């Protein structure tokens, strides 16, 4: 295949449909909308997913599960990636500079891979296997505290309690 035998896909070069331009165009009078009915009227718009009165797909499908509003996302890194960096002290900042993690989510270290050197790893969470491997190789697994926002203080409740 080369530039001399490349073709445009079918209908890629077709002209835009021009409706309502007279009978000679083949799309005059009803402008391809047919006679009468909801879809022939101007300004007609049905809801997304409308299937003509049939129960729409999004309502036929069963509901499943729920969304946990307290979900905590983590950057996940395996031990093999930490070894590949060639550093002895590893922090989230070091990993961010190396391009191993990209977001500012807390860091969790998993135990996939073998450790041959002693590493000092600072992370927000460790899996059991990762912690065991790090300590077995003579390193340290130091936990960084995860920032949890404080509870919102509601002054209205306190005022009501004081009155009564």
Strands of the sheet with 140-143, listed across from one edge: 89-90, 120-123, 140-143
Q: Does domain 75-143 have CATH number 3.40.50.720?
A: no
Residue 146 has a pLDDT of 75
What is the number of residues in the chain?
A: 164
Q: Where along the chain do its domains lie? A: 75-143
Q: What is the pLDDT of residue 41?
A: 92
> What pLDDT, in 10s, does the model give residues 54-101?
999 999 999 999 999 999 999 999 999 999 998 999 999 999 999 999
Radius of gyration of the chain (CA): 31
Q: Which H or E element spans position 58?
A: helix 57-60
Determine the pLDDT at residue 36. 93
Residues of the chain with pLDDT under 70: 147-164
pLDDT in the model for residue 105: 93
- Position 158 scores a pLDDT of 60
């Amino acid at each position: 295949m080369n530039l001399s035998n490349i073709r445009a896909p079918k209908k890629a070069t077709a002209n835009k449909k021009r409706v309502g331009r007279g009978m000679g165009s083949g799309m005059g009078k009803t402008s391809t909308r047919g006679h009468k009915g909801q879809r022939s009227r101007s300004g007609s718009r049905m809801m997304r997913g409308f299937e003509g009165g049939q129960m729409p797909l999004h309502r036929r499908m069963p509901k499943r599960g729920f969304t946990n509003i307290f979900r905590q996302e983590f950057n996940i890194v395996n031990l093999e990636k930490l070894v590949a960096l060639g550093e002895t002290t590893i922090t989230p900042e070091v990993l961010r500079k190396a391009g191993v993690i990209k977001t500012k989510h807390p860091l969790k270290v998993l135990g996939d891979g073998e450790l041959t050197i002693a590493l000092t790893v600072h992370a927000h969470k460790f899996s059991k296997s990762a912690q065991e491997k790090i300590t077995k190789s003579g390193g340290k697994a130091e936990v960084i505290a995860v920032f949890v926002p404080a509870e919102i203080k509601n002054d209205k409740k306190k005022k009501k309690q004081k009155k009564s």
